[in-house]
Amino acid sequence: MRITGLGHAGMFIETAGGSILCDPWVKPAFYGSWFPFPDNRPIDWEKYGKADFLYVSHRHRDHFDPWLLKTYVPKDIAVLLPDYPTDDLEQDLRGLGFENIVYTHAGEIIERGPLKMMVNPLRAPSDGPIGDSSLSVDDGTASILNQNDSHPLDLEKLLGFSKPDAYFMQTSGAIWWPMVYDLPQEAKQNFAHLKRDAQNKRAMYYIEKVGAEHVFPMAGPPMFLRDELFAYNGYGLNGDAIFTDQRQFLAHMAQQRPAQKGYEFLPGTVVEVNGNELSVTQTLYADEEIERIFGDKWTYLSEQRDARQAEIAEEEASRAAILPPDEMLAVLKDWWEPLLRRGRILREGVGGNVRFRIGELDMVVDFPKAKVRAYAGEECLYWYTIPADLVSTNIRDREIDWSNSIFLSMQFAVGRSGKFNEFLTTFLKCLSRDRIEYVENWYAEQSDVTEDVQLAEWVVQRRCPHLRADLTKTGKIEDGVLTCSLHDWKWDLTSGQCLTSNGHPIRAHHVGDAVSHEANAPAAV
C-alpha cells in the first residue's frame, strides 16, 4: 500500500484493490483565512484526481474544497459518503455533479476485491459540522487508519476492523479559542497554553489506544496569511495561539513515548507499507527546504503571505454587497426565529441574551423568548462583533453553519460572561430546520445516564455528560476533580458542577457517603 501526502488532511491511497482520494484541499478556506501548511499548490492535482474512490470526511472547508473537486476530480468517481444525520454533505457533492454515491454505514465493511474499507461516522452536535468520520483501509498487504479530525468514542468497534500498521491523525487545533476572545493578553497566553496541552493529551490518548507502530500527525496546522491574523500562526508571535505543527508534536511524542515511531507527513510525502515494513520518502520538497520551513518558520510564512495576497483579494471580491442594517435584521429575524421556537433545549441551554454587533447593526437574540430584535441595552451572556460583509455573504449563500464559515475564519471578536456555552455554538452551526430537529432529539436522548461506576474513591455516572464517553476509559480524578481526557472537560465531584461549560452537571458521590443530593443529578434538558 502506498499513501501520498497531499497537504493538511489530504492523502492519496493506492491499494491492491484501487485508489482513494481523501480530503483534498488547496484553495484558501473560511473567508480566505486558512491556507494549507506547507504550500501544496505544486502537487499534480490532475494525477491525483483520477482515483477510483473519493472520500470527504466532513464538510469543514479545509477538508471539502469545492473548487478542487470541480476542477480535477471526474464526476463518475465512486464517492464514499459517511452516514450522517442530515444530507448536507451529500447535497453539496451532488451539487458539484457527483452522482455515483456509495452509502456507507457505521461498522459496515465495503469490499472491492482485496480492498476492504470502513467509514466510521460520528454524529454528535459537536462533531465537525454535525458529523465527522474516519476511514479504515486494508488490502491484505497493510492496514491503515485515517482518523483526520474525528474523535471516536468507541475505539473497540473501530479497531475491530483490523489493527492499523500506520495511523494518520489530527494533533493540531481547529478552533477560534482563545485568539478572538475579549481577554487580557496574559489570560490569552495562559488559555492558549492549556489548550495546546489538552490537544496533546487527547492525541496521546488516541495514540496509546490505537497502538499502531507508525504514527503520522496531519490535518493541521493551517497558515494564516491575512495581515490581521498573521500573528496567530503556530503558537503565536505573542504566545497566544494554539496551532501545534507536525514537528512540534513529534518532539512532544518522543518525550512521552520514546519508543513510538513518528514521521512528518507533508505534501509529497510517500509512505510505502507492507505489513511490518515501512519506508518514507519525500517527492515534492528537498530536505533543505523542509528544514527551512520548520526551522525558520516565520520567514517561510512571511514569504507565503507576501506571495499570496492576490488569493485573499480574490476571495474578498467574491463576497456579497453589505445589506442595510434594517434589512439584515429583518432577514435574520425571519430566518432564526422559527428555528429558535423549534429549539427548546438549545434555548434553555443558552438561557439568556446574546448580542451581535454586525457593522452598523446592533441586535440581540433573546433565547428564552425566541426573539431577534434590535439591541436595547439588555444584559448579555455573549457579545459578538462580526464584519457586515461576512454576514451578508452568509445570508446570500444561506450558510447554515456559521462555525464552518465566519467563526473558523477568526475574522470576528467575541466576549462572554461566564463559561463556554456549548448550546450557543451548536445553535449557530444548526441554522436549518433539519439540523435543529436533529440536535434537539440528540440532546433529549442524552438524559439516559442511569448506570454508575466507581472511579478511585468516587461513584460517578458512567457516561460523560458532555458526549457520553465511557468514563471508565476516559476519566481521571485528582483532588476531587474529574477530567474526561477525550475533550479535557472537568467536573467538581463534590457539587457535581461542570467546570468547563454551563450546564452538563454530573451525578457523583464519595464512596461510603449517601447518594448525592438532587442538585448533583443531571439537569433535564
- DSSP category for residue 40: -
Are 17 and 115 within 8 A, CB to CB? yes
C-alpha closest to that of 270 among 49, 478, 12: 12
| Same domain flag for 127 and 23 | yes
pLDDT for res 301: 98
Residue 454 grid coordinates: 466507581
* CATH number for the domain harbouring residue 334: 3.30.1050
| Same domain flag for 268 and 353 | no
Residue 495 grid coordinates: 457539587
pLDDT for res 180: 97
Which residues make Cβ contacts (< 8 Å) with residue 73, sequence separation at least 6? Answer: 21, 24, 49, 51, 54, 98
Domain boundary pick from 443, 471, 497: 443
* Three-class DSSP category at 58: coil
| Same domain flag for 138 and 177 | yes
Taking the alpha carbons at both ends of the chain, their separation in whole angstroms is 48
pLDDT for res 518: 37
What is the pLDDT tens value at each position of the chain, 525 positions in all?
999 999 999 999 999 999 999 999 999 999 999 999 999 999 999 999 999 999 999 999 999 999 999 999 999 999 999 999 999 999 999 999 999 999 999 989 999 999 999 999 998 888 888 899 999 999 999 999 999 999 998 888 888 999 999 999 999 988 999 999 999 999 999 999 999 999 999 999 999 999 999 999 999 999 999 999 999 999 999 999 999 999 999 999 999 999 899 999 999 999 999 988 999 999 999 999 999 999 999 999 999 999 999 999 999 999 999 999 999 999 999 999 999 999 999 999 999 999 999 999 999 999 999 999 999 999 999 999 999 999 999 999 999 999 999 999 999 999 999 889 999 999 999 999 999 999 998 888 776 556 889 999 999 998 888 767 788 888 899 999 999 987 788 999 999 999 988 778 899 998 877 554 333 433 333
* CATH number for the domain harbouring residue 490: 2.102.10.10
* Three-class DSSP category at 276: coil
Burial zone of 496 (CB within 10 Å; 0-12 exposed, 13-18 middle, 19+ buried): buried
CA distances from 102 to 66, 77, 110, 134, 201 (A): 19, 10, 9, 15, 35
State the Cα angle at 465 between 476 and 180, rounded to 5°: 90
Q: Give a yes or no: residue 502 inside a domain.
A: yes
Q: Give a yes or no: residue 329 inside a domain.
A: yes
pLDDT for res 16: 97
| Same domain flag for 369 and 303 | no
C-alpha closest to that of 179 among 385, 426, 410: 410
Are 496 and 519 within 8 A, CB to CB? yes
Which residues make Cβ contacts (< 8 Å) with residue 145, sequence separation at least 6? Answer: 134, 135, 136, 158, 164, 166, 167, 168, 169, 210, 212
Which structural domain range is residue 73 located in? 2-311
Q: Give a yes or no: residue 408 inside a domain.
A: yes
Q: Give a yes or no: residue 320 inside a domain.
A: no
Residues 20-51 as b or e (16 or more Cβ within 10 Å = b) = bbbbbbbbbbbbbbbbbbbbbeebebeebbeb
Tally of domains in the chain: 3
Query: Cβ atoms within 10 A of the Cβ of 242, count?
Result: 26
Cα distance between residue 505 and residue 271, in whole Å: 45
Domain boundary pick from 443, 467, 486: 443
| Same domain flag for 504 and 426 | no
| Same domain flag for 377 and 514 | no
State the Cα angle at 18 between 12 and 21, rounded to 5°: 25
| Same domain flag for 335 and 304 | no
Q: Report strand pairing: 361-366 vs 458-461.
A: unpaired
Cα distance between residue 438 and residue 429, in whole Å: 12
| Same domain flag for 297 and 212 | yes
What's the alpha-carbon Rg for the chain, to the nearest Å? 23
